[in-house]
Homo-oligomer: A and B are copies of this chain.
Amino acid sequence: MNISGLNLPLRDEKPRQHGLTVLIDNGLPIEYFKDMVNSSAEFIDFIKFGWGTSIVTGKLIEKIECLKENNIDYFFGGTLFEKFLSQGKLDQYYLYCKKFDCKYIEISNGTMELTNKEKANFISEFSEEFNVFSEVGQKDADKADETTSSDWIEFIKEDFEAGATKVITEARESGTSGLCKATGEVRMKIVEDILTSSINIKDVIFEAPNKTMQSLFIKYVGSNVNLANISFSDTIPLETLRLGLRSDTFYLVNFDWGSIREGQK
């Protein structure tokens, strides 16, 4: 693929275990959706059908067929899980996910009042049937302000222990809550505390909806950091950031996963 002769950071082939790119579909029209997926499938690991968009998106089945043809997996946004839960209809959410042949499910408490312990119980339950991506972090900016590094680390660990395959850190589509302050600034102290904890960073996926966040995580964690909430139009720009082909990560050195904790110092 790389016919340029440039030395570039190594990226695993799909299906890969880390260096994951999770796009978010917020209800794109079908032909554009297929156009991007068909053009760049090698750089796309998962599609999240954002929040409750799957309920109103036309041609959902056609989208899913396109993903299957391109070996891309998919799941519905955690807000949809919470919506069913808030109406006491988790049984119907189970059926909804089965109907669309989901292998993955996202379980979150970003909007509802739900303790991490309660969320962990749902992770246990659903992990019997699905690969669970759990989400840690609050969509509400004030609540997000109150969450400490210890909380983040405790919640992430609790989710893994309950059976989550990966844990996603919240930042929304706007990068203004969860791991970000309302101003958009990343809570770097928390990121550093997570990176230097005993959490296996290869199983964490960071929501990083803008170039600033993407560059920051690539510089701190490496080319093969797992990133989510990537807009369709950022598929190629993100890959160039991973490869040091854009000014923001121009001097990126290839990341040594073995020395990750030392690497942060």
Set of chain B residues within 8 Å of A172, measured between Cβ atoms: 247
Chain B, residue nearest A92 (CB): B5
A58 to B239: give the CA distance in the assembly, Å. 12
Whether A245 and B80, one on each chain, are in contact in the complex, defined by CB atoms closer than 8 angstroms, is yes
How many A residues, CB 8 Å from partner? 58
A83 to B43: give the CA distance in the assembly, Å. 21
Residue A110 lies at the interface, judged by CB distance under 8 Å to chain B: yes
A1-60: which have CB < 8 Å to B? 1-2, 4-8, 26-32, 35-36, 38-40, 43, 51-53, 55-59
Whether A247 and B96, one on each chain, are in contact in the complex, defined by CB atoms closer than 8 angstroms, is no
A166-223: which have CB < 8 Å to B? 172, 174, 211
Set of chain B residues within 8 Å of A4, measured between Cβ atoms: 55, 84, 92, 96
Residue A116 lies at the interface, judged by CB distance under 8 Å to chain B: no
Whether A52 and B245, one on each chain, are in contact in the complex, defined by CB atoms closer than 8 angstroms, is yes
Q: How far is the CB of A23 from chain B (nearest CB, A)?
A: 12
Determine which residue in A1, A8, A27, A111 has the highest number of CB atoms from chain B within 10 A of its CB, and name it: A27
Whether A245 and B79, one on each chain, are in contact in the complex, defined by CB atoms closer than 8 angstroms, is yes
> In the complex this chain forms, how many copies of it are found?
3
Residue A257 lies at the interface, judged by CB distance under 8 Å to chain B: no
A236 to B53: give the CA distance in the assembly, Å. 7
Set of chain B residues within 8 Å of A111, measured between Cβ atoms: 247, 250
Q: How far is the CB of A180 from chain B (nearest CB, A)?
A: 15
Residue A119 lies at the interface, judged by CB distance under 8 Å to chain B: no
Residue A235 lies at the interface, judged by CB distance under 8 Å to chain B: yes
Set of chain B residues within 8 Å of A236, measured between Cβ atoms: 26-28, 53, 56-57
Whether A84 and B6, one on each chain, are in contact in the complex, defined by CB atoms closer than 8 angstroms, is yes
- A residues touching B (Cβ–Cβ < 8 Å)? 1-2, 4-8, 26-32, 35-36, 38-40, 43, 51-53, 55-59, 79-80, 82-84, 86-87, 89, 92, 95-96, 110-112, 139, 172, 174, 211, 233, 235-237, 239-240, 243-247, 250
Task: Give 10 pairs: A residue, B residue, CB < 8 Å, sorted on A.
Answer: A5-B95, A6-B55, A6-B84, A6-B89, A6-B92, A28-B233, A29-B38, A52-B245, A55-B245, A56-B239
Beyond the given A26-B233, A51-B246, could you list 18 further A-B residue pairs with CB under 8 A, ordered by the A residue number? A6-B83, A7-B87, A8-B55, A27-B40, A27-B240, A29-B32, A31-B32, A31-B35, A32-B32, A52-B246, A53-B236, A55-B243, A56-B245, A79-B245, A79-B246, A83-B244, A110-B247, A111-B250
- 3 A-B pairs with least C-beta separation: A27-B236, A52-B245, A29-B35
